[in-house]
């Protein structure tokens, strides 16, 4: 099962449980407590320095209880990311509007992705340039790493394909631009924090303008 499929499964489960307020079911409440404890620790200490034992202690449950709900630390991370994504889903849905032109869709995607980092502290931490994603990918295994990277590249290729047709890029040109966009997306949290002058939203608008103008 790919990263996206696992993320979607996790999001469907949370949609049933609800992300706003505590679930009514006792087991679901305990699972939520474990998930919230894991999310807080991942944000505070990072993925590498957080253990399943740490999560169990913070949630007030046994280590066995954590494994009852999640397969391991990487699985916890997937569900934590899904939990965060569910909270921000309203901001991301407009990107899927089929009526958008390619340039408007790309701009909206970039602006939303860059500015939403403040609302996604876990994702921000993972992409902060401290090597966190490397450790996550190692724990996920080679097949999952390949699925994650393939899904990311495929999505960016879809976004950039209309510009490739417009400018007559070769497949190699398109691949190069996908790699550049991917590296920017993976490092934008660090860039926003380092500059310190613009709000995340304004920074997102400016960098989106620059990227769109560069490929327009």
> What CA–CA distance (Å, rounded) separates 104 from 166?
15
- Which domains does the chain show, CATH number per domain? 3-87 (1.10.10.60), 89-215 (no CATH)
pTM (2 d.p.): 0.61
Q: Which of 7-26 are b and which e, b meaning 16 or more Cβ less than 10 Å from the residue's Cβ?
A: beebbeebeebebeeebeee
- 141-200 pLDDT, tens digit per residue, is 666 566 667 777 888 898 899 999 888 999 999 999 999 888 887 777 777 777 778 887
- 7-34 pLDDT, tens digit per residue, is 455 545 544 444 455 566 788 888 889 9
Asked whether the predicted pLDDT for residue 71 surpasses 60, the reply is yes
Going by C-alpha positions, the residue among 137, 122, 133, 119 that lies closest to residue 40 is 122
């Amino acid at each position: 099962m790919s990263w996206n499929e696992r993320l979607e499964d996790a999001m469907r489960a949370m949609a049933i449980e609800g992300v706003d307020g505590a679930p009514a079911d006792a087991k679901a409440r305990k699972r939520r407590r474990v998930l919230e404890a894991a999310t807080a620790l991942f944000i505070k200490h990072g993925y590498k320095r957080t253990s399943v034992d740490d999560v169990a202690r913070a949630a007030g449950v046994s280590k066995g209880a954590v494994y009852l709900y999640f397969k391991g630390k990487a699985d916890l991370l997937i569900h934590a990311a899904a939990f965060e994504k569910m909270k921000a889903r309203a901001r991301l849905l407009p990107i899927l509007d089929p009526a958008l032109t390619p340039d408007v869709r790309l701009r909206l995607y970039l602006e939303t992705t860059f500015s939403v980092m403040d609302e996604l502290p876990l994702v921000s931490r993972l992409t902060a340039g401290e090597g966190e994603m490397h450790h996550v990918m190692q724990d996920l295994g080679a097949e999952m790493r390949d699925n994650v990277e393939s899904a990311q590249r495929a999505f960016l290729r879809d976004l950039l394909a209309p510009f490739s047709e417009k400018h007559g890029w070769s497949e190699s040109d398109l691949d190069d631009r996908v790699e550049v966009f991917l590296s920017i997306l993976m490092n934008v949290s660090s860039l926003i924090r380092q500059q310190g002058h613009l709000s995340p939203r304004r920074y997102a608008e400016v960098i989106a303008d620059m990227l769109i103008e560069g490929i327009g």
